[in-house]
Amino acid sequence: MTYEDKLARFNAHIDGGGKVEASDFMPDDYRRGVLKFIEMHANSEIMGALPERECLPQAPTLLRKMSLAAKIQDEVGHAQLLYRVAEDLGKSRSAMYEDLLAGKSKFHNVFHYPVQHWGDVAIIGWLIDGAALVTQAALLDSSYAPYTRVLKRICSEEQLHLRHGEHITLMLASGTESQRDLFQDALSRWWLPIIHFFGPRSNVEKDLLLRWKVKTRTNEDLRQEFLDRYVPKVLELGFMFPSPVPVESTGHWIVKDQDIDWAPLEAVKKNRGPETTRRLAARRDVYDRHRWVREVLAAPFTYAA
Amino acid sequence: METFEVFRRSGHKEPFEHCGTVSAPDAEMALLEAKECFTRRREGQHLWVVKRSDIHSFKDESLLEIAADKSYRFAEAYRDVVTKRSQARSRGRALPEKARSST
């Protein structure tokens, strides 16, 4: 069978709703695209642990500290699952790690921003994890089957994180004026990055990941689902959105394209976000200091003679 | 480093099910990683790790297709049991009294 024949069969398989396993034939562009996508997801999980870790010392009670630490552990666990799935597509974990630290691969925009106080923990846990859950739940039906299997576990843990984040939000929202101010201040800083999180409008004609059903829905579709689900909940608690302010229209909460300032996202994509350099340096520092652990564990154990 | 496939069983009434993979230098380390990755919330009471290279499967999964029509192996082949049952019952009722008695 020629490569063209295999490609035609692959396309027909995908069009018919077929799934792909790591050992199956797949076009080079499919392999590269899926690898890059999962690698970016894995990078985001491990980089996403950092902003919340920075907030740990500010936890108001010991219980909050322990539950946030458990959530951070989950995020690192997600990275482990995802790197393992990506490895089976032909790139070693150490190569992925080196590329991340060298700024050659990407991680999600929201993790390039600073955290200031406990209000940020509420925003990250509720709205950012809420946004992540909308995108990840849409991927449960991805054509790359090994990815969907780890996503099942990731999504169930994200559900818990969402509840955890909402719990913190509700405590602040029903607390003193200064507690409410914490949430409002964090919302004002995070709203634009959250809108960016879903990315600009998808180019359906050119997006190979959509063509091959690795991604199943467009960026704007996912953003719309998030807005419809979360905007009313935030308004109900009496908080206010900064620009781009969502407006209600024909049963949906709309943010107009022309109201979105995309410049900060463009900077983040070039690894020039406000915290990019410092976070990557923090990750590099941990990676270097833990090198001896990796080396000890990788060496086969032998008793001294 | 080796790739290990991880299997988890939630209780004695369930079978072991594949739940993911880890990479580790040996089985002991693989078990520790699997415990941290897959059972942080009591999802399993038993764990297996197996070296991926020790798992055997068909190269071509189309070999798992059943070669010919073997519908008689499936319950749906016997769906007409409802009509058959009522036919047989009316046949039985039509028999003379003597033939229906067990003595």
Q: Give the distance, in angstroms, between the CA of residue A45 and the centroid of all CA atoms in the same chain.
A: 6
- Smallest Cβ–Cβ distance between B37 and the set A80, A88, A300 belongs to A80
Q: What is the pLDDT of residues A275-284, one digit of tens each?
A: 999 999 999 9
Q: What is the pLDDT of residues B14-73, one digit of tens each?
A: 899 999 999 999 999 999 999 999 998 888 889 999 999 999 998 887 888 887 888 888
Predicted complex ipTM = 0.79
Residue A246: is its pLDDT beyond 80? yes
- Smallest Cβ–Cβ distance between B37 and the set A81, A298, A299 belongs to A81
What mean pLDDT is reported for chain A? 95
Report the C-alpha gap between A260 and A223 in whole angstroms. Answer: 13
Q: What is the pLDDT of residues A52-65, one digit of tens each?
A: 999 999 999 999 99
Residue B89, pLDDT score: 94
Q: B40 and A87: CB-CB below 8 Å?
A: no
The burial class, CB within 10 Å (0-12 / 13-18 / 19+), for A222 is buried
Residue B52, pLDDT score: 96
Q: What is the pLDDT of residues A59-97, one digit of tens each?
A: 999 999 999 999 999 999 999 999 999 999 999 999 999
Interhelix angle A145-173/A129-139, nearest 10 degrees: 160
What is the per-residue burial (b if ≥16 Cβ within 10 Å, else e) of A274-303? ebbeebbeebeeeeeeeeeeeeeeeeeeee
Residue B103: is its pLDDT beyond 60? no
Residue B13, pLDDT score: 85
Q: Using pLDDT thresholds of 50, 70 and 90, give the confidence band for residue A7.
A: very high
3-state percent helix, strand, coil for chain B, nearest multiple of 5: 45, 20, 35
Report the C-alpha gap between B5 and A144 in whole angstroms. Answer: 18
Residue A206 phi/psi, 5-degree rounding, is: -100, -15
Instruction: Write down all domains in chain A, each with its CATH number in brackets.
Output: 11-292 (1.20.1260.10)
Instruction: Write down all domains in chain B, each with its CATH number in brackets.
Output: 2-54 (3.10.20.520)
Q: Using pLDDT thresholds of 50, 70 and 90, give the confidence band for residue A301.
A: low
Q: What percent of chain A stands above pLDDT 90?
A: 94
Report the C-alpha gap between A28 and A259 in whole angstroms. Answer: 38
Q: Using pLDDT thresholds of 50, 70 and 90, give the confidence band for residue A192.
A: very high
Report the C-alpha gap between B49 and A226 in whole angstroms. Answer: 39
CB neighbours (10 Å) of residue A163?
12
**CA-atom Rg of chain B in angstroms:** 26
Q: What is the pLDDT of residues A132-183, one digit of tens each?
A: 999 999 999 999 999 999 999 999 999 999 999 999 999 999 999 999 999 9
Residues of B in contact with A153 (CB under 8 A): 19-20, 38
A interface mutation test: which of B6, B23, B38, B62 has the most A CBs within 10 A? B23
